[in-house]
Structure 1
């Protein structure tokens, strides 16, 4: 499951860069991405 999320995360990042509506959601997204990175690196 985790490696699949890692691959999906790359596509989401591209989408989010284009449509970063508010700083707050951007900040929350960045935090979520950091957590996801940790999960991904742990699983590899």
Structure 2
């Protein structure tokens, strides 16, 4: 029982880390797109 609980907790932590990495990456992409749009508007 204890082993199963530990492994499930470890898997949950891994999933949480992956989700955090994904959210950070998406935020970076959104910022880049925003910068590109701003640059286009300024150049015009």
> Larger radius of gyration, structure 1 or 2?
2
